[in-house]
Amino acid sequence: MPFLQNAWYMAGWADEIEPGQMIHRKLLDQPIVFFRRTDGQLAALHDRCPHRFVPLHLGTLKGDAIECGYHGLQFDCTGRCVVNPHSSTIPAAARVKPFAVAEKDGIAWIWMGEADEARHDLLPDFSRLHAAPLNAASRGYLWTDCNYKLVADNVMDLSHADFLHADSVGGGAFTSAKTRVEEHGDDVHITWECRHDSAPPAYDRLMPRPGQPVNFHTEVRWRAPGIMHLDIAITPQEDPGSEGLRTDNAHIVTPETESTTHYFFWLTRRFQVDDEEINSRRQAIMYNAFSNQDKPMLSEQQRAMGTDDLFGLGPVLLPGDAGAVRARRKLEQRIRDECAAASRPAAGAPRVARA
Amino acid sequence: MPFLQNAWYMAGWADEIEPGQMIHRKLLDQPIVFFRRTDGQLAALHDRCPHRFVPLHLGTLKGDAIECGYHGLQFDCTGRCVVNPHSSTIPAAARVKPFAVAEKDGIAWIWMGEADEARHDLLPDFSRLHAAPLNAASRGYLWTDCNYKLVADNVMDLSHADFLHADSVGGGAFTSAKTRVEEHGDDVHITWECRHDSAPPAYDRLMPRPGQPVNFHTEVRWRAPGIMHLDIAITPQEDPGSEGLRTDNAHIVTPETESTTHYFFWLTRRFQVDDEEINSRRQAIMYNAFSNQDKPMLSEQQRAMGTDDLFGLGPVLLPGDAGAVRARRKLEQRIRDECAAASRPAAGAPRVARA
Amino acid sequence: MPFLQNAWYMAGWADEIEPGQMIHRKLLDQPIVFFRRTDGQLAALHDRCPHRFVPLHLGTLKGDAIECGYHGLQFDCTGRCVVNPHSSTIPAAARVKPFAVAEKDGIAWIWMGEADEARHDLLPDFSRLHAAPLNAASRGYLWTDCNYKLVADNVMDLSHADFLHADSVGGGAFTSAKTRVEEHGDDVHITWECRHDSAPPAYDRLMPRPGQPVNFHTEVRWRAPGIMHLDIAITPQEDPGSEGLRTDNAHIVTPETESTTHYFFWLTRRFQVDDEEINSRRQAIMYNAFSNQDKPMLSEQQRAMGTDDLFGLGPVLLPGDAGAVRARRKLEQRIRDECAAASRPAAGAPRVARA
Ligand code: FES
Ligand code: FES
Ligand code: FES
């Protein structure tokens, strides 16, 4: 299945792209080079010189342009060739595809469709996470060798936590919870709610009184292609009106290729926000869970599935799949719509009547 | 060419599968998980959860069942789902393919066809090897990067020993021997017999009087898919009635994939059966021959042949190929029969007349 | 695109093939084994036994023949089987394809077409380089993971030196030069000529008076499939009649596969020919340029192009491409001619009239 083109994808953390430097990353199977203009604005180009096809990131940044490292053509941030050292003219075909990019909430976003059709009004909002104090936030990145939809499924079916992460963020709460799946426009929201005899192990020690029954509430809000908020609230049953433990998290996946994924996660919390030790312990626990538990499982899942489509393999479906299946259907519908639009003649284009 | 399904394959040494543990191995391109029931009996399942296709061996053994490590479905040793923690019902489709397994003579055998059609009467007999005293036996395993039929050819055309293993088990005896190939039902027997001026180097030092002429007799008994007995008898010509040096060996190959093989070998001898040093020296010699002489040759042979069929490449055939060619023909015929049977309507099935 | 068959390719340096030893190399996707006959003459055979397809180089050299390491067939340097230890007759099909080889100017050349059609009159001439004193010459080899035509393009469009090797052999001279491309029969000659304000960095320090303006003259003479002379002459403008710095170099590429190349280079100079230090410094500079600048660029170029043909990708063409494009067109025409000839019935062959 092709990738959704007309959408914002997370390209990386904004501060990964430092002034005067290029970084390159493959997204949706396309090599892309990122840099900052001299005014600090982000820019992104297809990472391929139209002369001999070498990556532009092997060249040199000259002001707002990249000089190709092989024969010195220069391309500005709109992809136009602005210097040809070998001739007084610039070949008309010497153009590189530019991408619309945006920096928001500390994230570098890229619109993979036509740059001039980028919908800046649709940029995701992670301002709450961005506002978290230094010691209440941590970020991470995992290159994951599976299709991006498998990572999204993983986040959208949190019942797996009770088995794969039983020692940390599981503990039975998800399995015993009532799950609700709702569509809000283009988004899918999944809620797990239950009363449980204690908080999951990784949270229990942080409760006012460990080992006591809690009210447990978790919500995932998915948006295509794979942008997810994950909010957790755990409150003591004996003090249901209290703030309890609340965390606001982001799980964002961007396809590298059909079978590999850039997985970004961002963890913030609203309790004891200045406690550096809690922060680093939480980071360590989550990093361990993602890299030593989720990632090997996802990687083996991908190996087993190969290039087959999930539904084509006829999976047994369980109640926990409801949200992820809804999201997949929405994503697939948008991709089909996009493909159909691409093959439709543009308005006003001449049509040939078939007699 | 597909693999023969209705046959016993060696899955491993029985003691590789320890109580309370799972081991997983790919056989005939299928991932399989092995474990022991609480009563000690072997069990084997397709190593793939029908929910999200992750390997079951990443889960946990719970009594006679495996709990999937991702979302906790449990499957017993017949492949039936016995626990679904997410619902009060168990989806009818939640089934894993079970395999018939048998433990005999210290070997774990698996029947790759339908479990309930497994022919226990056809289990190979290695009781003589199993009965060998501790210091008269050694076993080995080599993962080999070639098709299993190339390893079988290697054992069935022992004339190679005179060239590839000239310094150990060759020495000219095979090349000068009279070879006889006979079919015994489904089996192929190959015999090499000659009078030679001395025993092969690895045996000569063990003869009563080294450097003396010997009668040399070797027999390979092949059974599909790749199960071979190899018996050697070397007796001094000056004392032809003596027992001489006799060894009984097994060479058993199980396809991992079309181009990789699990190669098991088991070496026993009937002389000086309590001599630990002879045993370990023999093991070292053979292991060196297999891993440093046969394996690289087989690996290069596979690289050269690629996915081509041996006969499709039009090989020059030599006298030594007779047995291996006979065995290949028998194996191919059985596979063709099996494929034909699979595509025939079952007895009593409705037939549609073609007018 | 297939490879040109009826041409001499460089197989290696002649002294790589030592008496009594075999070396094997894949050329044009074919495994080849090289050795010397007892009279010292080079010989080359397809590196594959016609019995079971193992590489002959795993065997043993016995006089002028190779004994296969698996079952002992022996093949002489014409590819004829001369010993079959398993029978009194030699199967007629037991033949290995022989290749015509020639040793000239310290290079081992191989004709990849039919051995008896090899055109010894077409052997390239590198006698001038071969005659260079010990301390005026150095040789090198780089395995390069790109198509051989990309390496040839690299040498034929030296304008890249001003960007990729700005710190050594570039410096702006090529970009400011007048370029001339000429065909001389089957060869393509490319000349760069200019007056420049100084010699390129790697040469400037060797000039009689560094930092002074120079006349700069460079010529590449290409011959199919990828054999290139590269002559450089740099003379002080203040003394244009002087000898200046002259170097005669060879860049020779032989395809290993469609996407990997054996790249041989040979650097000689005509100035200060006994200065060992200049020689080793020049070798170090060039080796650094080729392996740390050209090779990564070529490797990324290949990755970007994949299996696509250069022209099929619609490259923007720059003035510097003129010579390389001319050479590619000539090479492609020769390959097309060769393919057409191969599919034409031979003279005198019966023709079937199509009514
Ligand atoms: S490849 Fe970029 S300028 Fe030549
Ligand atoms: S993948 Fe096994 S229970 Fe979900
Ligand atoms: S493979 Fe060469 S003689 Fe058998």
H/E element holding A198?
A: none
Q: Tell me the three state secondary structure of residue A185.
A: coil
pLDDT at residue C343 in the model: 85
CATH class of C8-121: mainly beta
Token reading at B348: 């009593």
Length of chain B: 355
H/E element holding B189?
A: strand B187-196
Strand order in the sheet with B81-83: B60-62, B65-67, B74-76, B81-83
Cα(A183)–Cα(A198) distance, integer angstroms: 30
Q: Are A66 and A80 in contact (CB under 8 A)?
A: no
Contact C31 B160 (CB under 8 A): no
Q: Are B107 and B14 in contact (CB under 8 A)?
A: yes
Chain B contact set for C69 (CB, 8 A): 163-164, 297
* pLDDT band, residue B347 (cuts 50/70/90): low
Chain A contact set for C318 (CB, 8 A): 51, 71, 73, 84, 86-87, 91
Q: Give the residue from A129, A209, A216, A213 showing the smallest Cα distance to A169.
A: A216
Contact A91 C317 (CB under 8 A): yes
Identity of residue A241: G
Give the CATH number of domain B9-121. Answer: 2.102.10.10
What is the SS3 assignment for chain C? CCCCCCCEEEEEEHHHCCCCCCEEEEECCEEEEEEECCCCCEEEEECCCCCCCCCHHHCEEECCEEECCCCCCEEECCCEEEECCCCCCCCCCCECCEEEEEEECCEEEEECCCHHHCCHHHCCCCHHHHCCCHHHEEEEEEEECCCHHHHHHHHHCHHHHHHHCCCCCCCCHHHHCEEEEEEECCEEEEEEEEEECCCCHHHHCCCCCCCCCEEEEEEEEEECCCEEEEEEEEEECCCCCCCCEEEEEEEEEEEEECCEEEEEEEEEECCCCCCHHHHHHHHHHHHHHHHHHHHHHHHHHHHHHCCCCCHHHCCCCCHHHHHHHHHHHHHHHHHHHHHHHHHCCCCCCCCCCCC
Concatenating the DSSP letter of every residue in B219-277 gives: EEEEETTTEEEEEEEEEETTSTTS--EEEEEEEEEEEEETTEEEEEEEEEESSSTT-HH
* pLDDT band, residue C347 (cuts 50/70/90): low
- Measured in angstroms, the CA of A44 and the nearest CA of chain C are apart by 18
CA distances from A191 to A87, A183, A197 (A): 63, 12, 19
C88 lies within 8 A of chain B by CB: no
- The pLDDT tens digits for C122-143 are 999 999 999 999 999 999 999 9
Q: Are A47 and A55 in contact (CB under 8 A)?
A: yes
Give the ligand at the shortest distance from the Cα of C318: 1
Beta strands in A91-225 (DSSP E): 98-104, 107-111, 137-144, 178-184, 187-196, 214-223
Burial A270-306 (b: 16+ CB within 10 A, else e): bbeeeeeebbeebeebbeebbeebbbbbbbbbbebbe
Contact B53 A301 (CB under 8 A): yes
As a whole number, the mean pLDDT across chain B is 95
pLDDT at residue B40 in the model: 98
Cα(C258)–Cα(B32) distance, integer angstroms: 38
CA C120 to chain centre: 17
Identity of residue A169: V
pLDDT at residue B243 in the model: 87
Dihedral pair phi/psi, residue A335, rounded to 5°: -65, -40
CA dihedral C155, C158, C160, C163 (to 10 degrees): 130
Cα(A220)–Cα(A202) distance, integer angstroms: 19
Chain A contact set for B55 (CB, 8 A): 300, 304
- Measured in angstroms, the CA of A206 and the nearest CA of chain B are apart by 26
- The pLDDT tens digits for B211-248 are 999 999 999 999 999 999 999 999 999 998 898 999 99
| Side-chain-side CA neighbours of residue B190 (13 Å) | 26
A303-317, A341-355, C305-319: range with lowest mean pLDDT: A341-355
Closest chain B residue by Cα to residue C96 = B316
Q: Tell me the three state secondary structure of residue A29.
A: coil
Residue keyed to tokens 């008898």: B233
Give me the mean pLDDT over the B297-315 stretch: 95
Length of chain A: 355
Chain B contact set for C85 (CB, 8 A): 162, 175
Contact C53 B313 (CB under 8 A): yes
Cα(C299)–Cα(C291) distance, integer angstroms: 11
Q: Is the pLDDT of residue A230 over 90?
A: yes
Contact partners, residue A343, CB within 8 Å, separation at least 6: none
Token reading at A202: 């990784």
CA distances from B74 to A91, A276, B64 (A): 65, 41, 10
Q: Tell me the three state secondary structure of residue A201.
A: helix
Q: Which residues line ligand 1 (CB under 6 A)?
A: A 49, 51-52, 54, 68, 70-73
Confirm or reject: Cβ of C49 under 6 Å from ligand 3.
yes
Contact A70 C318 (CB under 8 A): no
Strand partners, A217: A193, A233
- The pLDDT tens digits for B82-141 are 999 999 999 999 999 999 999 999 999 999 999 999 999 999 999 999 999 999 999 999
* pLDDT band, residue B1 (cuts 50/70/90): confident
Q: Counting runs of H as helices and runs of E as strands, what totals does chain B give?
A: 8, 17
Asked if the C127-337 domain carries CATH number 1.10.510.10, the reply is no
pLDDT at residue A343 in the model: 85
Chain C contact set for B319 (CB, 8 A): 86-87
Contact partners, residue C277, CB within 8 Å, separation at least 6: none
pLDDT at residue A59 in the model: 98
Cα(A41)–Cα(A103) distance, integer angstroms: 8
Q: Are A289 and B40 in contact (CB under 8 A)?
A: no
Q: Is the pLDDT of residue A309 over 50?
A: yes
Strand order in the sheet with A98-104: A8-13, A107-111, A98-104, A42-46, A30-36, A23-27
Pick the CATH number of A8-122 from 2.102.10.10, 2.40.40.20, 3.30.930.10, 1.20.1530.20: 2.102.10.10
CA distances from A13 to A104, A197, A266 (A): 10, 38, 10
Q: Is the pLDDT of residue B355 over 90?
A: no
Burial C74-108 (b: 16+ CB within 10 A, else e): bbbbebebbebbbeeebeeebbbebbbbbbbbebb
B1 lies within 8 A of chain C by CB: no
Give me the mean pLDDT over the A323-330 stretch: 97
A88 lies within 8 A of chain C by CB: no
- Measured in angstroms, the CA of A256 and the nearest CA of chain C are apart by 15
Token reading at C352: 């079937």
Q: Which among A160, A175, A304 has the least Cβ separation from residue B53?
A: A304
Strand partners, A310: none
End-to-end CA distance of chain C: 34
B91 lies within 8 A of chain A by CB: yes
A318 lies within 8 A of chain B by CB: yes
Identity of residue C319: P
Cα(C152)–Cα(C164) distance, integer angstroms: 16
| Side-chain-side CA neighbours of residue A279 (13 Å) | 19
- The pLDDT tens digits for C273-324 are 999 999 999 999 999 999 999 999 999 999 999 999 999 999 999 999 999 9
Cα(A215)–Cα(A195) distance, integer angstroms: 5
pLDDT at residue C351 in the model: 47
Cα(C27)–Cα(C86) distance, integer angstroms: 32
Q: Is the pLDDT of residue C29 over 50?
A: yes
Give the CATH number of domain A127-307+318-337. Answer: 3.90.380.10
Token reading at B96: 């894993």
Cα(A48)–Cα(A58) distance, integer angstroms: 10
Dihedral pair phi/psi, residue A108, rounded to 5°: -95, 115
Closest chain C residue by Cα to residue A47 = C304
Give me the mean pLDDT over the C86-115 stretch: 97
Q: Are C113 and C99 in contact (CB under 8 A)?
A: no
Dihedral pair phi/psi, residue A265, rounded to 5°: -135, 155
C71 lies within 8 A of chain B by CB: yes
Cα(B252)–Cα(B166) distance, integer angstroms: 23
pLDDT at residue B351 in the model: 46
Burial of C332 (0-12, 13-18, 19+ CB in 10 A): middle
Checking ipTM against 0.85, whether it exceeds it is yes
Indicate which atom in ligand 1 lies nearest the CA of residue C163. 3
Domain assignments of chain B as residue spans, ordered by start: 9-121, 127-337
Q: Are B33 and B45 in contact (CB under 8 A)?
A: yes
* CA B159–ligand 3 middle distance (angstroms): 10
Q: Are C250 and C228 in contact (CB under 8 A)?
A: yes
Q: Is the pLDDT of residue C4 over 60?
A: yes
Dihedral pair phi/psi, residue C295, rounded to 5°: -60, -50
- The pLDDT tens digits for A126-178 are 999 999 999 999 999 999 999 999 999 999 999 999 999 999 999 899 999 99
Q: Give the residue from C21, C3, C28, C1 showing the smallest Cα distance to C11.
A: C28
- Check for a shared fold between A8-122 and A127-307+318-337: no
B313 lies within 8 A of chain C by CB: yes
